[in-house]
């Protein structure tokens, strides 16, 4: 029998694709979309611009952006039968499960006889998915509490329209801008679990709705997109923001070898560059709306963790401050991960389009650990 191949748990460090979508240098804390630093994109570009960049490879001209934004706005509404599907789901269900279900059925409602091999069909699917995910999330937010969904507006930007659909109130400029920046920062992050899931599904030539539904399922896990929910729950278990209390809490967790959510990353060995920007957004919100005790606890925990484990390359990741920002914007905790999906769908689709340019179905190997060449014993003779 040939020599067993090396087994790498979680495929850590194993290249799974050639890509020009996203560049990460974890040692330097560098994150770039299509070669542009995420910090610059967050400062100077809207989510619509960044989505155009991810999908088509270049930042749009003003005319291209206007046309693209108009396309997105036209596709925001949902067919009423998709709303009917959401109304049949249990009110206690998690929003990520509702989002997965809605996106999965979109493939039936928007098939229109086309095929994934057609570039025009792929492009239309991408436009629809980016446009409709916020509508699904906002619709479920209202349906589960007994309210009717609010129709999207075409005169608002992507982020502002999402906030509007939640409660029917147009957000102020600061809230809309902060949500827009948060969407930009979460839009893409190379070959993470959900992106890999999307590419694997796309490689079978399943339609883009199925590929994105599978990615949403992957994102839902607490080790991936669901981490920002858990971070807030964790911070609330710390008694107060005093250095002594936070230090004792952190030392106890580390002594028990329990994971402290929001710290550490498979890629970054320094503080996640997105965490710094999100922390700045939180401060901007607090200046207008008042601070929150949980932020003070978070800042002190970051300080104590730097002293305790900073030398190991363990620092805050994107999830550490994002939940604090979303909570201050008025979002329900269990909507944090769906907002992540609203953003990351742009990156998933960029990878899907790239995968299909020169597609080959994923078919990894395995390391066999069982017993081979066994003989079946008749049932009457078994032990």
pLDDT at 90: 97
The pLDDT-based confidence of 222 (bands split at 50, 70, 90) is confident
Task: Render 268-308 in DSSP notation, one character per residue.
Answer: -SS--HHHHHHHHHHHHHHHHH---HHHHHHHHHHHHHHHH
The pLDDT-based confidence of 38 (bands split at 50, 70, 90) is very high
pLDDT tens-digit profile of 60-101? 999 999 999 999 999 999 999 999 999 999 999 999 999 999
Residue 73's CB is within 10 A of a number of other CB atoms, namely 19
265 is catalytic: yes
Radius of gyration of the chain (CA): 22
Percentage of residues in the chain having pLDDT higher than 90: 76
Stronger pLDDT, 323 or 134, i.e. the higher one: 134
Which stretch of 6-10, 30-34, 304-308, 356-360 has the lowest confidence by average pLDDT? 6-10
pLDDT at 57: 98
319 is catalytic: yes
Return the SS3 of 90: coil
Mean predicted confidence (pLDDT) in 372-379? 96
pLDDT at 9: 87
The pLDDT-based confidence of 113 (bands split at 50, 70, 90) is low
pLDDT at 323: 87
In angstroms, rounded to a whole number, what is the distance separating the alpha carbons of residues 307 and 58?
42
* Spatial CB neighbours of 344, under 8 Å, sequence gap ≥ 6: 186, 187, 188, 189, 194, 195, 215, 219, 225
DSSP annotation of 102 reads H
> Does residue 266 contact residue 12 with C-beta atoms inside 8 Å?
yes
Stated length of the chain: 383
Mean pLDDT in the chain? 93
The pLDDT-based confidence of 3 (bands split at 50, 70, 90) is low
- Spacing of C-alpha 61 from chain mean position: 27
User: Which has the closest alpha carbon to 102: 116, 127, 81, 75?
Assistant: 81
Mean predicted confidence (pLDDT) in 180-197? 96
Mean predicted confidence (pLDDT) in 241-252? 95
* Spatial CB neighbours of 218, under 8 Å, sequence gap ≥ 6: 193, 194, 196, 197, 224
Q: Is the pLDDT of residue 269 over 60?
A: yes
Q: Is the pLDDT of residue 2 over 80?
A: no
* Marked catalytic residue, from 158, 189, 265, 351: 265
User: Which has the closest alpha carbon to 128: 183, 85, 79?
Assistant: 79
* Marked catalytic residue, from 186, 189, 319, 351: 319
* Spatial CB neighbours of 312, under 8 Å, sequence gap ≥ 6: none
Q: Is the pLDDT of residue 114 over 80?
A: no
Q: Please name each of the domains of the chain with its CATH number.
A: 19-221+334-357 (1.10.580.10), 227-328 (1.10.230.10)
pLDDT at 185: 95
The pLDDT-based confidence of 266 (bands split at 50, 70, 90) is confident
> Does residue 336 contact residue 229 with C-beta atoms inside 8 Å?
yes
The pLDDT-based confidence of 267 (bands split at 50, 70, 90) is confident
pLDDT at 288: 87
* Spatial CB neighbours of 151, under 8 Å, sequence gap ≥ 6: 77, 165
Mean predicted confidence (pLDDT) in 291-318? 91
The pLDDT-based confidence of 270 (bands split at 50, 70, 90) is confident
In angstroms, rounded to a whole number, what is the distance separating the alpha carbons of residues 349 and 318?
21
- CA-CA-CA-CA torsion sign (266, 268, 269, 274): negative
């Amino acid at each position: 029998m040939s020599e067993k191949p090396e087994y790498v748990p979680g495929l850590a460090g194993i290249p799974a694709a050639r890509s020009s979508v996203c560049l990460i240098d974890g040692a330097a804390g560098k994150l770039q979309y299509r070669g542009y630093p995420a910090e610059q994109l967050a400062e100077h570009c809207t989510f619509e611009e960044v989505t155009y960049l991810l999908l088509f490879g270049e930042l749009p001209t003003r005319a291209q952006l206007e046309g693209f934004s108009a396309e997105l706005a036209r596709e925001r509404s949902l067919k009423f039968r998709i709303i009917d599907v959401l109304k049949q789901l249990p009110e206690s269900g998690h929003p990520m499960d509702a989002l997965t279900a809605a996106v999965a059925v979109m493939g039936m409602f928007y098939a229109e006889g086309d095929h994934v091999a057609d570039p025009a069909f792929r492009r239309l699917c991408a436009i629809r998915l980016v446009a409709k995910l916020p509508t699904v999330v906002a619709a479920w937010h209202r349906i589960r509490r007994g309210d009717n969904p609010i129709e999207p507006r075409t005169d608002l930007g992507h982020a502002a329209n999402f906030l509007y659909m939640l409660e029917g109130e147009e957000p102020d400029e600061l809230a809309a801008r902060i949500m827009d920046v948060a969407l930009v920062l979460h839009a893409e992050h190379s070959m993470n679990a959900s992106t890999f899931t999307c590419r694997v599904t796309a490689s079978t030539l399943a339609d883009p709705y199925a590929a994105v539904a599978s990615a949403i399922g992957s994102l839902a896990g607490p080790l991936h997109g669901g981490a920002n929910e858990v971070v807030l729950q964790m911070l609330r278990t710390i008694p107060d923001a005093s250095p002594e209390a936070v230090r004792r809490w952190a030392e106890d967790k580390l002594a028990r070898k329990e994971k402290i959510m929001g710290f550490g990353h498979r890629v970054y060995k320094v503080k996640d560059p997105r965490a710094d920007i999100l922390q700045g957004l939180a401060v901007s919100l607090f200046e207008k709306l008042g601070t929150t005790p949980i932020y003070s606890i978070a800042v002190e925990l970051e300080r104590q963790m730097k002293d305790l484990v900073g030398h190991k390359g363990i620092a805050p990741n994107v999830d550490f401050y994002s939940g604090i920002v979303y909570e201050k914007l008025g979002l329900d905790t269990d909507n944090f991960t769906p907002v992540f999906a609203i953003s990351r769908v742009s990156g998933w689709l960029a990878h899907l389009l790239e995968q299909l340019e020169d597609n080959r179905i994923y078919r990894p190997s395995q390391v066999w650990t069982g017993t081979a060449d066994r003989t079946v014993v008749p049932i009457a003779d078994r032990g």
